[in-house]
Amino acid sequence: MKSVHELAKLPAGVSLLADDIIEFHAARLLLLLGWCGIGDRIDGLTKLAKLDFFVRYPQFFDKACAASGEKIQSASTSVESSMVRHHYGPWDHRYYEVLAYLRSRGLIQITKEGNTYKFKLTLVGKQQMNQLASDPAYEQLCEQMRRVKVAFGKKAGSTLKKLIYEVFNQEVALKSLGEVIE
């Protein structure tokens, strides 16, 4: 991944997607912590990844809501950014890099209790998250996150993983490890 600060070093003819820029993913994760977390915190990588999955894949969110009796519909229709099938369901191989990026800039704190990593916005991270949330460009994403939190924000990561494997057997569970979820 590249930082927006490195883009000037690239030749003019090189194609670049937003998906290749670390700040794109960092902004989404900051918003995820603020909008889907409890007290600006998400406990566990599994929960973070599953909430992120429902934000990024609105059609799967709608189907999961219907399967679990939630009467909530997605605020979006397009996939934000692709994820892959991993040992515990949907995953983004960029999480470790993006979380380290956020931590190194003092935007999040990462603590470990037992086997669980806890991700919490710092005061500076909360200010940045609020600034992003007030930008009209993030309005639809924030609304999707609000809906994801209402439907699944209080559920454990393992519960969300189980729901995904039950409801999306064909689309997720039967995929090979590393295969893109479409």
When the pLDDT of each residue in the chain is averaged and rounded to a whole number, the result is 90
User: Predicted confidence band at 7 (pLDDT cuts at 50, 70, 90)?
Assistant: low
Structure-token match 């950014």, residue found: 81
Helices marked H in 37-156 — which ranges? 45-56, 58-67, 95-104, 123-133, 139-152
**Which tens digits make up the pLDDT trace of 85-125?**
888 889 999 999 999 999 999 999 999 999 999 999 999 99
User: Predicted confidence band at 82 (pLDDT cuts at 50, 70, 90)?
Assistant: confident
Largest Cα–Cα separation, the chain: 51
d(Cα 37, Cα 134) in Å, to the nearest integer? 18
pLDDT for residue 134: 97
Structure-token match 């979006």, residue found: 76
Q: What percent of the chain has pLDDT over 70?
A: 89
In 3D space, the residue among 144, 182, 164 whose CA is nearest the CA of residue 46 turns out to be: 164
Residue 2 pLDDT greater than 80, yes or no:
no
User: Predicted confidence band at 8 (pLDDT cuts at 50, 70, 90)?
Assistant: low
Six-digit token string for 15: 């194609």
In 3D space, the residue among 29, 65, 27 whose CA is nearest the CA of residue 47 turns out to be: 29
d(Cα 110, Cα 65) in Å, to the nearest integer? 30
Q: Determine whether 33 is exposed, middle or buried from the number of CB atoms within 10 Å of its CB (0-12, 13-18, 19+).
A: buried
Please, what is the end-to-end C-alpha distance for the chain in angstroms?
21
**Which tens digits make up the pLDDT trace of 167-178?**
998 898 878 888
Residue 141 pLDDT greater than 90, yes or no:
yes
Helix (H, G, I), strand (E, B) or coil at 1: coil
Six-digit token string for 76: 């979006």
**Which tens digits make up the pLDDT trace of 98-107?**
999 999 999 9
pLDDT for residue 43: 97
Phi/psi of residue 45, nearest 5 degrees: -65, -35
Helix (H, G, I), strand (E, B) or coil at 146: helix
User: Predicted confidence band at 77 (pLDDT cuts at 50, 70, 90)?
Assistant: confident
